[in-house]
Structure 1
């Protein structure tokens, strides 16, 4: 079966949005897989050992290895397919396992731009809140390897959640354009769950797992309860194997 590499908290529970995005796709496509837990200090050596390509390169040319990563033993007739970039993994899974598609015909470019916005803009105000909370829940080895001062450039101030809500309000206004009769206003492509929805829902899961009593209790009610509805739409694909 496919192996999905993930970073645990102090007990094996997934939290990372980029990795949840891939887990949701695997579950949605009903692909058999298992999770391999890797603490931050072990990521580079683990990925090198399985032949994963670097996720990116530093300015000095040194490779950077990050999760998610997958190993698909049936991806090639001669050898396993090993990938380590969430966008590349998503496209690979869609191409190799087209049943229950996440990229409806003609939507790949638009959805890729949508997900880029989620990654680069939508989540930015969340980082000063969520990174310190996540850091507290990591294993001690991972906390030491991933110092908090390097993880977040500024503390969360009184207006932190207000800045987060502004991004949610903007996204809600865009998705309102999918209202009846073209869609239900909850999912990005109008009617069915797609890659874009899994990108947003993975952020919701991060909040629900790491800040259930402060963050999730408020986020799920914003914009008329839209985000709680999207979370519920994805709930059937949140199993962890």
Structure 2
């Protein structure tokens, strides 16, 4: 019999490697903890129907009470084939994987609250200036059906040259600020690259997931810029995390 697996649901694209940062946060954890998993690819237009069919919990609710279904989602059959655990929301999944599979922890002792706050900052503040740049570029690399799913929502609207440069200046302000904070770790691992000072953790995976998004959808513009910022700090973080970038 084949070994039971954790199934990770992700969205396909025309580029060779996956791009979605919230899903990468989960993939990093699965790879770091050396858990057996597989990826199932579903287009955006099929997400709600697919997640309903596996009884995945909604990630939010609209003002009228209708549920919203989104990725990442995992189905964990490693512990029980007959009663698999189905979870949505990257942070909920991270907490579950840490508690259920405590070997190779992503939350060093006493760091859970601080890391949770850091990840919230990455998602709600740090990454926000990237949206007008990367969302249209991401739209371009989606399959046609998924592109059609987002038409009319402004996803395909490209910035002009001046608008793009202004947007990148706002992005760099966030990177510069974060670099100044992480520089306070200098002396811990010799260069202050990782958030917790010595070993990679969930906070680093959340941050590196944003770097992957930039590199996947804007390798010659966005990543070419970012990799040169802050004394190559972001390339060094990438290298710290690259052993956990497998796609299974």
Tell me if 1:25 matches 2:29: yes
Q: How does 1:86-105 map to 2 (within 5 A)?
A: 86-105=90-109
Contact 2:57/2:87 (<8 A) preserved: yes
Matches of 1:40 and 1:11, distance apart in 2: 16
Encode CA deviations 1:212-236: one digit per residue, 9 max, x unaligned.
Answer: 0001111011100000000011111
Distance 1:148 1:15, change over 3 A: farther
**In the TM superposition, what is the alpha-carbon distance from 1:18 to its structure 2 partner?**
0.2
Encode CA deviations 1:123-150: one digit per residue, 9 max, x unaligned.
Answer: 0110011000000000010001012634
Q: How does 1:103-142 map to 2 (within 5 A)?
A: 103-142=107-146
SS of match in other structure, 2:46:
helix
Contact 1:69/1:82 (<8 A) preserved: yes
**In the TM superposition, what is the alpha-carbon distance from 1:39 to its structure 2 partner?**
0.2
**In the TM superposition, what is the alpha-carbon distance from 1:117 to its structure 2 partner?**
0.4
Q: Which residue of 1 is the match for residue 218 of structure 2? A: 211
Q: Which residue of 2 is the match for residue 195 of structure 1? A: 202
Tell me if 1:174 matches 2:181: yes
**TM score, norm. by length of structure 1:** 0.95
- Aligned residue pairs: how many? 241
Q: Which residue of 1 is the match for residue 71 of structure 2? A: 67
Q: How does 1:217-228 map to 2 (within 5 A)?
A: 217-228=224-235
Encode CA deviations 1:5-34: one digit per residue, 9 max, x unaligned.
Answer: 001102563100000110011000000100
**In the TM superposition, what is the alpha-carbon distance from 1:77 to its structure 2 partner?**
7.8
**TM score, norm. by length of structure 2:** 0.93
Q: Which runs of 5+ in 2 are unaligned?
A: none
Matches of 1:174 and 1:11, distance apart in 2: 33
